[in-house]
C-alpha cells in the first residue's frame, strides 16, 4: 500500500512540477546562448578595443547570465514550494477527507509523501545540475584556450582536495542529506501543527508556524553547538583546534534527532486527523 500511495503522490506532484522542469530546460538553453554570446563578445571586444557595440553586447550577455541564474533559482524554489503546497492540500483541505479514508496508517501516508517529494526534489536538482552543465559547456566552447586551461586547473584542485580529505567529503554529503530530511519533516510537522491548533485561517497559521519552527531550529543547529564548543574551551582553560569532521558529525546527529522528532510529531498529528477545511 505504501507503493500505491507513493505512485499516487508522485503523479499528483507531476501535474505541477513537470511545467517547472520545462521552465528549467528553457532557462538552460537561454543560459547556454548567453554564455556563448558573452564569450564571443569578449573576443570581439579584445579585437576591437574601444568599439561601443561589442562592449554593449558584452554587458547584455552578462546581464542575461545574471537573469538566467535568478530564473533557475526561482524555478527550483517554486518546485520546493509546490511540494509543500501539495502536502498541505492533501492533508488539510477538502482533499484530506479522501486521504484519511485510505486503508493506510498515518506513518505510511507521511512516508509515501516524503518519498515522492524526495524523488521529485532529486529530479529537480538533477535538472538544475544539467542546466548548469549546459551553461558551463557554452562558456567552455567559446571561452578560448586560456579559459579552458583555467577550468582544468580548478577541477584538478577540487579533485585533489577531495582525494586528500575523503572522510570530510563523505561527512559533508551525509550532513547535507540529514539536514534535507530534517528540513522536510520540520516543515511538514509545522504545517500540520499550525493547521491543527486553529479553526480558521489554517493556511496562514501553517505558514506562520513554519517560520517560527525554522527560527527555533536554526538556534538549535547553529547557536547552541557553537556555545557548547565555546564553553568547552574556556571551561577547561585550554585551546581547541577546530575539527571539521567532528563539527559535521555533531550537525548530522542533531539533524537526525530533529528529523525523528518532527517525523513523530507529523505522524502523531496526522493520526488525529488535523482540522480539515
Q: By three-state DSSP, how is residue 45 classified?
A: helix
Domain shared by 197 and 223, yes or no: yes
Q: Across all residues in the chain, what is the average pLDDT? A: 79
Phi, psi of 258 (to 5 degrees): -65, -35
Domain shared by 101 and 29, yes or no: yes
Domain shared by 3 and 131, yes or no: yes
Lookup: cell for 114: 516524503
66 pLDDT exceeds 90?
A: no
- Confidence label for 61 from pLDDT (cuts 50, 70 and 90): low
244 pLDDT exceeds 60?
A: yes
Task: Let me know if residue 215 belongs to a domain.
Answer: yes
Rounded-to-integer distance, Cα 61 and Cα 200, Å: 49
Note the pLDDT tens digit of each residue in 159-203: 777 777 788 889 889 999 999 999 999 999 999 888 888 777 888
Q: Report the percent of the chain where pLDDT is more than 70.
A: 79
Of the residues 153, 179, 207, the one at which a domain ends: 153
- pTM for the predicted model, two decimal places: 0.78
Domain shared by 141 and 175, yes or no: no
Task: Let me know if residue 159 belongs to a domain.
Answer: no
Residue ranges of the alpha helices (H) in the chain?
2-47, 52-91, 95-99, 106-142, 144-164, 166-196, 202-218, 224-235, 244-271
Note the pLDDT tens digit of each residue in 22-41: 988 988 888 888 777 765 55
Domain shared by 36 and 143, yes or no: yes
What residues make up the domain containing 120?
A: 1-153
Domain shared by 134 and 184, yes or no: no
114 pLDDT exceeds 50?
A: yes
Task: Let me know if residue 158 belongs to a domain.
Answer: no
Of the residues 118, 153, 188, the one at which a domain ends: 153
The number of distinct structural domains making up the chain is: 2
Q: Give me the pLDDT at residue 127, please.
A: 92
Note the pLDDT tens digit of each residue in 117-168: 999 999 999 999 999 888 888 777 766 666 667 777 777 887 777 777 788 8
Of the residues 110, 129, 153, the one at which a domain ends: 153
Amino acid at each position: 500500500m505504501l507503493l500505491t500511495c507513493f505512485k499516487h503522490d508522485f503523479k499528483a506532484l507531476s501535474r505541477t512540477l513537470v511545467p517547472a522542469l520545462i521552465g528549467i530546460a528553457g532557462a538552460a538553453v537561454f543560459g547556454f546562448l548567453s554564455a556563448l554570446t558573452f564569450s564571443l563578445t569578449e573576443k570581439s571586444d579584445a579585437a576591437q578595443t574601444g568599439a561601443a557595440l561589442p562592449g554593449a553586447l558584452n554587458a547584455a550577455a552578462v546581464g542575461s547570465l545574471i537573469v538566467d541564474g535568478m530564473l533557475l533559482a526561482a524555478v527550483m524554489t517554486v518546485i520546493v514550494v509546490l511540494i509543500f503546497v501539495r502536502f498541505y492540500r492533501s492533508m488539510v483541505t477538502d482533499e484530506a477527507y479522501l486521504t484519511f479514508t485510505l486503508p493506510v496508517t498515518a506513518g505510511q501516508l507521511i512516508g509515501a509523501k516524503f518519498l515522492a517529494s524526495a524523488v521529485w526534489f532529486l529530479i529537480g536538482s538533477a535538472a538544475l545540475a544539467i542546466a548548469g552543465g549546459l551553461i558551463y559547456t557554452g562558456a567552455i566552447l567559446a571561452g578560448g584556450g586560456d579559459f579552458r586551461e583555467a577550468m582544468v586547473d580548478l577541477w584538478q584542485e577540487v579533485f585533489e582536495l577531495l582525494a586528500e580529505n575523503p572522510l570530510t567529503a563523505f561527512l559533508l554529503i551525509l550532513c547535507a542529506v540529514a539536514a534535507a530530511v530534517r528540513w522536510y519533516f520540520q516543515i511538514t510537522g509545522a504545517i500540520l501543527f499550525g493547521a491543527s491548533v486553529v479553526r480558521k485561517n489554517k493556511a496562514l497559521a501553517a505558514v506562520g508556524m513554519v517560520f517560527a519552527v525554522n527560527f527555533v531550529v536554526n538556534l538549535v543547529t547553529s547557536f547552541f553547538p557553537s556555545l557548547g564548543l565555546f564553553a568547552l574551551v574556556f571551561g577547561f582553560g585550554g585551546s581547541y583546534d577546530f575539527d571539521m569532521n567532528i563539527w559535521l558529525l555533531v550537525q548530522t546527529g542533531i539533524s537526525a534527532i530533529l528529523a525523528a522528532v518532527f517525523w513523530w510529531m507529523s505522524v502523531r498529528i496526522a493520526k488525529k486527523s488535523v482540522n480539515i477545511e
